[in-house]
Amino acid sequence: MQMRFAAAILILGTCGASAADLAIKQAEPVVPVAIYNWTGPYIGVHAGYGWGQEHDDQSRLFPAETDPGTGGGGTDKYDMDGFLGGVHAGYNYQTGQFVFGAEGDIDYSGVKGTGHGTYLGGTIPRTLKMEDRWQGSARLRAGFAIDNLLLYATGGLAFAEGKLTSSGPDIATTSSTKTHLGWTAGLGAEYAFTQNWIGRAEVRYTDFQKKRYRTSDGPVKAGWDQVTTNVGVSYKF
């Protein structure tokens, strides 16, 4: 009788301990998943490629072609392209899922192009070379955040240093530099891999307005537009 009573107490004690353990496990709080917050300053680096076209008015320096059938043509428009890369910095503010901010960047640029043309029926050959030596921008940004992913639009002011070189077999080669102003707009996406490190991809169109350059034939107004794509990484403080 005593043995049966002791066994019953042992079984009840074991069941009670198991029930207590189960109750404790069920009471463990669930840690909520942290939602990423885009608010704060950041700085980063980026690199990419640009494609564009130079526009100028060199043809106005020469009389109209006397014989268009000879194949002569001006250098008033030609393609430009090249690599570019630099640094960027900015600040974001998030309210709900909307993110607003401002950003500035400065790039070393290898975007350049050369145009070859002839005037007066092909009797006057000319070459124009435009080089985008560096460029930058100051822009506003607005986007929509899906946790760690940010999709945004951006736009603002752009500036660059252009170098125009004019040459021909019958003239001295001349080069001069000018600072161009313009505007830029584009779209991009960012992804926060950690609380601090963010990757990005962006595409932008930029129009640099014409400036007047000196050449041996006379003043030439030249500028260019371009589309650039770049990828980069930022550190958010």
Tokens 């008033």 found at? 76
Asked if pLDDT for residue 28 goes beyond 90, the answer is: no
Start-to-end Cα distance in the chain: 74
Asked if pLDDT for residue 106 goes beyond 80, the answer is: yes
Q: Rounded distance, CA 116 to CA 123, Å?
A: 13
Section 169-197 average pLDDT:
97
**114: helix, coil or strand?**
strand
CB 150 within 8 A of CB 91: no
Sign of the C-alpha dihedral computed for residues 37, 42, 47 and 51 taken in this order: positive
Read off the DSSP letter of residue 36. Answer: P
Asked if pLDDT for residue 145 goes beyond 70, the answer is: yes
Residue type, 172: A
Q: Which has more pLDDT, 176 or 70?
A: 176
Neighbouring residues of 23: CB distance < 8 A, sequence distance ≥ 6: none
CB 208 within 8 A of CB 160: yes
The token duo for 204 is: 């932008």
CATH of 40-236, one of 3.50.30.20, 2.40.160.20, 2.70.98.90, 2.60.120.10: 2.40.160.20
Q: Rounded distance, CA 198 to CA 181, Å?
A: 30
- pLDDT confidence band for 70 (50 / 70 / 90): very low
CB burial readout 140-157, b (16+ within 10 A) else e: ebebebeeeebebebbee
Per-domain boundaries in the chain:
40-236
Q: Which has more pLDDT, 188 or 25?
A: 188
Residue type, 89: A
